[in-house]
Amino acid sequence: MPIVVVANPKGGVGKSTLSTNIAGYFASCGHAVMLGDVDRQQSSRLWLGLRPPAARPIATWETDAANIAKPPKGTTHVVLDTPAGLHGKRLNEVMKMADHIVVPLQPSVFDIFATRAFLDDLVQNKHAGKARIGLIGMRVDARTIASGHLHEFVDMLGVPVLGYLRDTQNYIHLTARGLTLFDVAPSRVEKDLAQWQGLCHWLDT
């Protein structure tokens, strides 16, 4: 049972958007998916409450501030949304469970420096030994100087870059309805689905 952890110590980088859409991708493949949220803001849990009954089911993984219980039998895929500032014992607990760690990163100098330190911690964290680590650029506009700086930064890391997701209202509108890119007609979100191909392939292998 693969457990995908979406993590970055910097707040506001798009962890919940990424987590919900990964869960939506797994659900679209027919998997029995659970989405857990150990962030105090509970954004992913709120999103699940907005999800329409007709959408492919995604179950809630019951977690709390003190413990992360093992998902129940029958679950085939798990996605875990984590809080900003994840560190110490809590980080170790999450890393022990992770099969894939997806690190979202925005093209700002603050995000880049915070993420670099976090990636160094992951590499040195003995609990993350079995997990595969990948980066995903969030809200990236290829026409900007900041985007160029982001590309230069990730090229030096030695961590696979799974893709760059554009800044689009599609994510905002779908999130407000409890939906993902994978819940609507592909023709409506064709550009965005194309940007997800690398990440989806990485998650499936």
* Runs of H (alpha helix) within the chain: 15-28, 43-50, 88-97, 109-124, 145-155, 169-175, 190-204
Structure tokens at 13: 């980088």
pLDDT (0 to 100) of residue 24: 97
Average pLDDT over every residue of 30-59:
87
Instruction: With a cut of 90, say whether residue 29 has pLDDT above it.
Output: yes
Residue 12: φ, ψ to 5°: 75, 20
At a CB cut-off of 8 Å and minimum separation 6, what does 131 contact?
5, 95, 98, 99, 100, 101
Residue % of the chain over a pLDDT of 90: 42
Cβ-proximal residues to 186 (8 Å cutoff; 6+ apart), any chain: 193
Asked if residue 105 lies in contact with residue 15, where contact means CB atoms within 8 angstroms, the answer is no
- pLDDT confidence bin for 18, thresholds 50/70/90: very high
The pLDDT value recorded for residue 91 is 75
pLDDT tens column, 45-86:
889 999 999 999 999 876 655 556 566 678 899 999 887 777
pLDDT, tens only, 157-174? 778 888 889 999 999 999
Question: Is 3-204 a CATH 3.30.1240.10 domain?
Answer: no
**Three-state SS for 59?**
strand
Cα end-to-end span (Å), the chain: 13
Pick from 3-12, 142-151, 191-200 the range whose average pLDDT is largest. 191-200
The 10s digit of each residue's pLDDT in 85-115 is: 777 777 777 778 889 999 998 877 777 777 8
pLDDT at residue 120 above 90? no
Q: Is residue 11 within 8 Å of 84, Cβ to Cβ?
A: yes
**Residues 103, 161: Cα–Cα separation, whole Å:** 10
Residue 53 exposed, middle or buried by CB count within 10 Å (0-12, 13-18, 19+)? exposed
Whether 150 has a pLDDT exceeding 80, the answer reads: no
pTM above 0.75, yes or no: yes
What pLDDT, on the 0 to 100 scale, is given for residue 63?
60
